[in-house]
A and B are shown apart, each in its own frame.
Chain A
Amino acid sequence: DGGITQSPKYLFRKEGQNVTLSCEQNLNHDAMYWYRQDPGQGLRLIYYSQIVNDFQKGDIAEGYSVSREKKESFPLTVTSAQKNPTAFYLCASSIDLEYNEQFFGPGTRLTVL
Chain B
Amino acid sequence: EDKVVQSPLSLVVHEGDTVTLNCSYEVTNFRSLLWYKQEKKAPTFLFMLTSSGIEKKSGRLSSILDKKELFSILNITATQTGDSAVYLCATSGTNAGKSTFGDGTTLTVKP
Which positions in A face B, CB cutoff 8 Å?
Answer: 31, 33, 35, 40-45, 48, 50, 56, 58-59, 88, 90, 97-98, 100-107
Is there an interface contact between A33 and B97, defined as CB atoms closer than 8 Å?
yes
Q: A43-B99, A90-B42, A106-B41 given. 6 additional CB < 8 A pairs?
A: A35-B101, A42-B101, A100-B32, A100-B34, A102-B34, A107-B41
Residues of chain B with a CB closer than 8 A to A58's CB:
98
A48 and B99 CA atoms in complex are apart in Å by 10
Write the chain A residue with the least CB distance to B1: A59
Whether B12 is near chain A, meaning CB under 8 Å from some CB there, is: no
Q: Could you tell me the distance in whole angstroms from the C-beta of B62 to the nearest C-beta in chain A?
A: 18
Are B43 and A100 in contact, with the CB atoms below 8 A?
A: no
A63 to chain B, nearest CB (A): 19
In the complex, the answer to whether B101 meets A43 with C-beta atoms within 8 Å is yes
What chain B residues lie within 8 Å of A102 (beta carbons)? 34, 45, 99
